[in-house]
Homo-oligomer: A and B are copies of this chain.
Amino acid sequence: MKKAPRAPDDALETPRRRPTINDIARLAGVSKKTVSRVINASPFVRSDTRDRIQAVIAELGYAPDPQARGLAYGRSFLIGLVYDNPNPQYVVNMQLGLLDGMKGSGFELVVHPCDRESPTFLEDLRAFIERQRLFGVVLTPSVSEDERAAKLMSDIGCAYVRVASVSLDTPEHMIETRDRLGGREAARHLAELGHTRIGFISGPASFRSSHERRSGFEEALNEHGLTLSRTYVAEGAYTFDSGVERGRELLAIEPRPTAIFAANDEMAAGVLQAARQAGLRIPEDLSVVGFDDFQIASRLWPALTTVRTPTREIGRLAVERLLGRDDDVRDPKNRLPSLVVRDSTAPLKG
C-alpha cells in the first residue's frame, strides 16, 4: 500500500518541521559552525557572511534549540529563582522583574521555593542546580543571606546573584536593596510630623533587612534630635500576628507612643488591629508606618503610610547582572526605597 499523499498536512501550517542549524547552514552556503558563531555573537565572522546568515535566520524564523545548545555547552539556558520569602506579592513582583530582565535573551525562569530550616536544604538545592545544569540563580532574602548557599554556588560553579538589604558579597554577586534608606525615610516623616515618643517593631534578628531598617530609622531619628528609646522597641517576626502582639504591648506602655514604625506591612496591619482593639483612632491617636507597600497597604483602613521597595526593578537588575548585561547607565534612583504617604500618619496633636 502506498503512503497516503500528505497534501492536507502541508496545507495546514502546523506540522512544518522547525528549522535547525543545518537548514540555515545549507541555505546560507556555509558550515554550521559558522552559523553557530553568528548565534553566539562571535566576532570572527566576516560581516557580509554574518548578514547573509542573519537574513536566512530571519526568513525561516529560526531559533536555536536551547536543549541541544545546553547539552553541548554543558549548561542549560535556565535561570533559577531560589527564595524563601513567604510574601506572595514579593515573590510575584520578583518573578516579573526577572522575566523583564531576561526578555528576548532566550533564557527561561525556573522557580525554586525552599526552606532554609529543612535538614536537606543544601542537598536539595545542589541536586536542583546540578540536575538542571542551571546557568545561574538569583537568591533572595533570606536565603540570599545564607553563606552556605553562596558557598555552594561557588563550589559547583553556578553563577549567582544575591539580592539583600546590604552588601554581603563581591559586587558582581550582589544587588543591594538598601533598606537602611527606607528606615531613614520613615524616621524623617515621623519627625517632621512632630512625633517624639516613637515605637519600633523590628523583624526577626536573623534577617539583615530587619537590622538595616532599624538602624536607618534610628540614625535618622538621631539626626532630627530624637532618640529611639529601648522601652519602645520590640522584636516581631515579620508576621501579622506578631504585629498584633507587639503592637498591643507597646500601646500598653505609659506614656503611650504616639507613632509606631513597623518593619513591614504585615506587622503594621497587626498594629492597626491592636490599636483598634485598644480603642485608639488612627491617625488621630496613633500614627503608623509600614514597610514594603504590598497590596495590603492600600486595602487597610486607614490606608497605610509605608516605604515602597521597587522589587520588580530590583529583580530586573539582578538578572541583568547575572547575564552580564547591566548598563549601569540607568538612573539609580528608581531602585531605592521611597516613602508613600497615605492616611495612617498625621501631625502630632498639639
Chain A residues close to B by CB (< 8 Å): 14, 18, 63, 65-68, 70-71, 76, 78, 88-89, 91-93, 95-96, 99, 106, 108-111, 113, 127-128, 130-133, 155-156, 240, 266, 269, 272-273, 276, 295-296, 298-301
Contact = CB atoms under 8 A, between A and B. Distances in A.
Taking each of A88, A96, A155, A276, which has the highest tally of chain B beta carbons within 10 Å of its own beta carbon?
A88
Contact of A110 (B88, B93, B108, B276): B108
Which 5 A/B pairs are nearest by Cβ-Cβ distance? A88-B92, A88-B88, A88-B89, A269-B299, A67-B70
Nearest to A95: B111
A105 to B, nearest CB: 12
Contact of A301 (B109, B113, B130, B301): B301
Nearest to A110: B108
B295 A273 contact: no
A131 B66 contact: yes
15 contacts: A14-B155, A14-B156, A63-B131, A65-B131, A71-B71, A78-B108, A99-B113, A108-B110, A240-B299, A266-B299, A272-B301, A276-B301, A296-B299, A299-B299, A300-B300
Nearest to A266: B299
A127 B108 CA distance: 12
A66 B131 CA distance: 7
Nearest to A241: B298
A63 B76 CA distance: 16
Nearest to A155: B14
A67 B63 contact: no
A133 B95 contact: no
Contact of A300 (B71, B128, B299): B299
Nearest to A130: B18
A298 B240 contact: yes
A241 to B, nearest CB: 10
A301 B273 CA distance: 7
Contacts of A63: 127, 131
A110 B18 CA distance: 22
A272 B93 CA distance: 27
A71 B67 contact: yes
A129 to B, nearest CB: 11
